[in-house]
Amino acid sequence: MQSGVLSAIGTTPLVRLTRVLNDLSFRLYAKLEALNPGGSTKDRPAATIIEHGLETGAIRSGTVVIESSSGNMGIGLAQVCAYYGLRFICVVDPKVTTQNIRLLKAYGAEIDYVKEPEPGTGDFLQARIKRVQTLLRTTENSFWPNQYANICNSKAHHHTMREITQTLDGKIDYLFCATSTCGTLRGCAEYVRAQGLQTKIFAVDAVGSVIFGGPNLTRLIPGHGASIRPELYQADLSDRCVRVTDLDCIVGCRRLIRKEAILAGGSSGAVLMAIEQVKDNIAPDTTCVAIFPDRGERYLDTIYSDAWVLDHFGEVSQIWEDFEARACATATF
Ligand SMILES: Cc1ncc(COP(=O)(O)O)c(C=O)c1O
């Protein structure tokens, strides 16, 4: 069914990383999901969900698509809705970046702002979902992709894992996957199981996210992590969860651009740092794949801005020094 720009979704490059982590005893590859036309891995579930809706009749002429997202899923849906001529209302909160608003508008999406967090919890995600439900009730012929629960989200990522498997002839010993809705994690895990692969899966979550338990804390880097446990989550999807701080995301991203010339988003930095955290547990002469979900242009005013980093974490030069001091002797910049 896919044609035009949507036919460019998927088949993203898998590149070998040889510079960013020193003295690796295993082969490290990165799946560059930024090369999807909408700039992130969320193009995949956005297209799968909307096309499933069109096939089943849940979406028809005049349907208004309504979803809560301040980031990549919103942009992915905006792209697919623009392609199919569907109206799209994206419910965002004050944490959305100006750049993402401009991108959403450029694709023709309508922006609906939630200004106040959920009373009592201070949480914006719950407030956004409530707003989506209100809009669905009051908008005739509306459709909610519901990315946190929609099985088409995870199904879209069977393809992600199939592509990795085909490129590496099925020989993937470890997969590192950032998590938020758990669509990527679940889709890849289901494919691994269905194919009888021996791949060990590491879920990468944010410190302060509740997906794998633990308290809900303030996080500054969007993308991975969630303040609710998504319905797509299942306890046995991963062999292990590795948690990464916002500061480590920044360090990871800056290492990636310095050493590999990859301008990646925050969760890619998180995945890199997660691999570094557990690299001594990775058997030598094995193959390890990291999924890098999006591109760094969306983080130029945050992760890649020295002024922003200074405001929130301190001097960049000091951060490097601290990192060098605490990191293993093998860490490189
Ligand atoms: C940059 C980024 N990283 C990671 C994720 C997590 O992916 P998933 O929702 O499939 O768990 C997302 C999801 O929006 C994302 O935008």
Which domains, ranges and CATH numbers included, belong to the chain? 4-35+157-325 (3.40.50.1100), 43-143 (3.40.50.1100)
164 pLDDT band (50/70/90 cuts)? very high
Taking only the tens place, the pLDDT of each residue in 271-316 is 999 999 999 999 999 999 999 999 999 999 999 999 999 999 999 9
Ligand 1 pocket residue status of 181, Cβ below 6 Å? yes
Mean pLDDT of 218-224: 91
Query: What are residue 40's DSSP bridge partners?
Result: 294
Strand-pair category, 142-143 with 64-68: parallel
Q: Measured in angstroms, how far is the CA atom of residue 298 from the centroid of ligand 1? A: 14
Structure token pair of residue 116:
């106040």
Q: Is the CB of 160 under 6 A from ligand 1?
A: no
Give the rounded percent of residues in the chain with a pLDDT score beyond 70: 97
Ligand 1 contacts CB of residue 187 (under 6 A): no
Using the mean position of ligand 1's atoms as its centre, give its distance from the Cα of residue 292 in Å. 10
| Beta pairing, strands 64-68 & 174-178 | unpaired
Q: Are 24 and 279 in contact (CB under 8 A)?
A: yes
Confidence of residue 243 (pLDDT cuts 50, 70, 90): very high
CA 217 to centroid of chain Cα atoms? 19
Q: How confident is the model at residue 331 (pLDDT cuts 50, 70, 90)?
A: very low
Ligand 1 in contact with 73 (CB < 6 A)? yes
Average pLDDT over residues 109-115: 96
* Closest C-alpha residue for ligand 1 atom 1: 223
Ligand 1 proximity of 211 Cβ (cutoff 6 Å): no
Ligand 1 atom closest to residue 184's alpha carbon, by position in its atom list? 10
Verify whether ligand 1 is closer than 6 Å to residue 265 (CB atom).
yes
The pLDDT of residue 1 = 53
Q: Which of 17, 20, 19 is nearest to 251 (CA)?
A: 20
Mean pLDDT of the chain: 94
**Cα(83)–Cα(75) distance, integer angstroms:** 12
> What local confidence, expressed as pLDDT, does residue 70 receive?
79
Pairing of strands 110-113, 87-92: parallel
- 180 Cα–ligand 1 center, Å: 5
Q: Tell me the C-alpha to C-alpha distance, in Å, between residue 286 and each of 26, 47, 175, 281.
A: 5, 33, 11, 11
Q: How far is the CA of 258 from the centre of ligand 1 (A)?
A: 23
CB atoms within 10 A of CB 174: 22
Q: Is the pTM of this model over 0.75?
A: yes
Q: Which residue's CA is minimally distant from atom 2 of ligand 1?
A: 223
The secondary structure element, H or E, covering residue 206 is strand 200-206
pLDDT at 332 (0 to 100): 42
